[in-house]
Structure 1
Amino acid sequence: MAKKRDYYEILGISKNATAKEIKTAFRNLAKKYHPDINKSHDAEEKMKEVNEAYEVLSDDNKRRTYDQFGHSGMEGMDQHAGYGGFGSFKDIFSGFDGFNMGDIFGDIFSGGNSGYSSRRSTTPMKGNVKSKVISIDFLESVVGTTLNLTVDQYHNCDLCNGKGYEHEEDIEQCKTCSGLGYQNVTTRTFLGSIRQQKICSTCNGDGVTIKKKCEKCKGSQTTKTTSDIKVGIPAGVENGQELLVAGYGGPGRNGGPSGDLVIIIKVNPHKYYVRQGQNIYLDFPVSIADIIQENNVQVPTPYGIKNIKMKSTYKNDQMLTIKDAGVDLKTEKGNLYITLKLVIPNYNKKELKDVRKVISSKEDTINSDFIKNF
């Protein structure tokens, strides 16, 4: 038989621990190892071990015997049924001053909505946040733009002042919860019966129900209008970035203000430009004739056309930098990097004959040099 662990060690307390410290340690471990919370394979065994240690150390007589003789002193004693399972939990926890079983097990049986003990406050509450995805062009994201949007806007009903009813006689005490705002619910589990308090499903915690709804808002507490607004999109905005527009979200409650609207920016990809951080990249086709003749070529940038002089030394895939033609992030402006893609012009027969004549008079060793060094 495996050697039994020390009870004090199991609860993680010292041998001088007070009764209160023993209870606190047991409560914390019960929350940690209860099988409905902890799904590990050894959780149930650990819980039995914790329960056994508590049964002994919480009883003054058993604790004195254990302190003097250890586990051998416990043999033959009237062992509590709690050693073999969890049936004694309810009795043990009910002895904790000011302790509610829902504190530990509420999340298991009520989806996290335990411990409700009074009417929900009618304090004005701000409305929920709403979101809206807006698509913009790539160039708009670089230089900034202004969006013209039509959005919903909620206002507290001016007839009932955001209450949902016009006169006090238009409401009555909730018949389901008798005006408390909550309902007592008893759940039967292997631990025994657990009694909890939940928000009343009829009055939603208000304690009252409306007999006659406001003629204007029909009990919703708010009225809705549509508004045309302008939203400034800053230069440098990125795909997925969120912008907050205050006051255009969901309706408030109990006279509270409307929530906020979050604009989620979707940047449409550009046909040629690619953005990386504050810099923009462009594959730029250029005629080999412009390279040879060192002509000026027009390069499109987000801020307009830029004239760049070609050089006869430029090679295919060579990268050139146009400073400050990237994304303006206020603190620093990025660059536009263009990668040259050399293209042979579409000459007609006569032009091609002239080109061949010129080229044939010049020695070209590119291929022979490659073969020589291969």
Structure 2
Amino acid sequence: GGGRRTNPNAPQRGESLRMSLILSFEEAAFGCEKAVTVERLEPCGACQGSGCAEGTTPEVCPDCHGTGTVQVRRQTPMGVFATSSPCSRCGGKGKIIHQPCRECRGAGAVRKRKTIQASIPAGIDNGQTISIRGQGNAGKNGGPAGDLLITITVRPHEIFRREGTSVLCEAPITFAQAVLGAELEIPTIDGKVKYDLPEGTQSGSTFRLKGKGIPSINGRGRGDQYVTVYIETPRNLTKEQKEALRKFAETMGDENYEERKGFFGKGKKKR
């Protein structure tokens, strides 16, 4: 029996590193450049990754002849069985370093702290991961380095919420603004924009600001912003304000409140 053996001295790709990065709502929306610091394995500068002291070379293991494995044959009543196991003499490396490098102690790599500039694409969302090629741990035997994988966490915004490329928010308006209409200044991720609120706007109405949402991560346009308005009930009215409000209410009839008339009218019994 047996399987395909891997040459332990062949170039091997380094392991990828993972880290997390916290962004603000706006940074995730528009993209940004971030300096991130990682600890990674880099090729030893003293031995150039060989693991050997200067002027020396490794010896090919005489037991496994550089394969890193040895075969053990056993005679059984069923026949001869052969099994492979890591070579105990070289530890499965296929070579023996008699004079290891003092800097890396024969490992061929040293751990260093590295600061890397990460380009965060516009439109990235919470939980998504970006990959920076070749910024992970060093490879072995001259193999390529692994990648740096950065998982994004977006801090919640005090006003906005995100659904896909859409931005959602709620805006308080006064009773007078809802009745008479008004010009509102609505916050967006681009700054404040003006919106003409129509007369007779109902609490809970939603309107759209086209193109004021999140840029698509593939660079194809932007989403929209949806603003839901609600009427904020005033508090701490003065005596004069309350009296004026009562007089106003006395002038109103059911014809001015279509939804109220329909809701409370359903509960009346027919005679």
TM-score interval for Structure 1 and Structure 2 normalised by the shorter chain = 0.7 to 0.9
Distance 2:75 2:232 in 1: 81
For residues 41-190 of structure 1, the aligned pairs below 5 Å read 101-102=1-2, 114-116=3-5, 120-166=7-53, 171-172=58-59, 174=61, 177=64, 180-185=67-72
Query: 1:362 maps to what in 2?
Result: 252
Q: 1:372 aligns with which of 256, 265, 268?
A: 265
Indicate conservation of the 8 Å contact 2:73/2:83, yes or no: yes
Matched position secondary structure for 2:50: coil
For residues 1-374 of structure 1, the aligned pairs below 5 Å read 101-102=1-2, 114-116=3-5, 120-166=7-53, 171-172=58-59, 174=61, 177=64, 180-185=67-72, 194-329=81-216, 330-349=219-238, 350-365=240-255, 366=257, 367-374=260-267
Listed one character per residue, the Cα deviations across residues 129-163 of structure 1 (whole Å, up to 9, x for unaligned) are: 11111121222211222212122354322322211
Distance 2:246 2:266 in 1: 27
Listed one character per residue, the Cα deviations across residues 277-316 of structure 1 (whole Å, up to 9, x for unaligned) are: 2212223222222212322222211111122222222112
* Residues 308/255 of structure 1: CA separation in 2 closer, same or farther (3 Å cut): same
Matched position secondary structure for 1:151: strand
* Residues 301/140 of structure 1: CA separation in 2 closer, same or farther (3 Å cut): same
Q: State the shift of 1:175 in Å.
A: 6.6
Q: State the shift of 1:256 in Å.
A: 3.1
Which amino acid in structure 2 is aligned with residue 355 of structure 1? L
* TM superposition score normalised by structure 1: 0.62
Which amino acid in structure 1 is aligned with residue 186 of structure 2? V
Q: State the shift of 1:214 in Å.
A: 0.2
Matched position secondary structure for 2:39: strand
Indicate conservation of the 8 Å contact 1:151/1:248, yes or no: no
Quick one: higher RCO (CA 8 Å, sep 6+), 1 or 2?
A: 2
Listed one character per residue, the Cα deviations across residues 203-231 of structure 1 (whole Å, up to 9, x for unaligned) are: 24432222221012211212333232221
Q: State the shift of 1:321 in Å.
A: 0.4
Query: Can you give the 5+ residue segments of structure 2 that lack an aligned partner in the other structure?
Result: none
Query: Can you give the 5+ residue segments of structure 1 that lack an aligned partner in the other structure?
Result: 1-100, 103-113
Indicate conservation of the 8 Å contact 1:115/1:196, yes or no: no
* Residues 195/338 of structure 1: CA separation in 2 closer, same or farther (3 Å cut): same
Q: Which has the higher helix share?
A: 1
* Residues 193/299 of structure 1: CA separation in 2 closer, same or farther (3 Å cut): farther
Listed one character per residue, the Cα deviations across residues 28-86 of structure 1 (whole Å, up to 9, x for unaligned) are: xxxxxxxxxxxxxxxxxxxxxxxxxxxxxxxxxxxxxxxxxxxxxxxxxxxxxxxxxxx
* Residues 164/364 of structure 1: CA separation in 2 closer, same or farther (3 Å cut): same
Matched position secondary structure for 1:216: coil
Indicate conservation of the 8 Å contact 2:181/2:200, yes or no: no
Matched position secondary structure for 1:158: coil
Structure label with greater radius of gyration: 1
Matched position secondary structure for 1:161: coil
Q: Which has the higher strand share?
A: 2
Matched position secondary structure for 2:141: coil
* TM superposition score normalised by structure 2: 0.82
Q: State the shift of 1:348 in Å.
A: 1.5
Q: State the shift of 1:254 in Å.
A: 1.6
* Residues 328/195 of structure 1: CA separation in 2 closer, same or farther (3 Å cut): same
Indicate conservation of the 8 Å contact 1:154/1:250, yes or no: yes
Listed one character per residue, the Cα deviations across residues 225-253 of structure 1 (whole Å, up to 9, x for unaligned) are: 32322212111002222212233201221
Query: 1:10 maps to what in 2?
Result: none
* Residues 123/281 of structure 1: CA separation in 2 closer, same or farther (3 Å cut): same
Indicate conservation of the 8 Å contact 2:17/2:137, yes or no: yes
Which amino acid in structure 1 is aligned with residue 188 of structure 2? T
Matched position secondary structure for 1:197: strand
Matched position secondary structure for 1:135: strand
Which amino acid in structure 2 is aligned with residue 340 of structure 1? V
Matched position secondary structure for 1:332: coil
Number of aligned pairs? 261
Matched position secondary structure for 1:291: helix
Matched position secondary structure for 2:242: helix
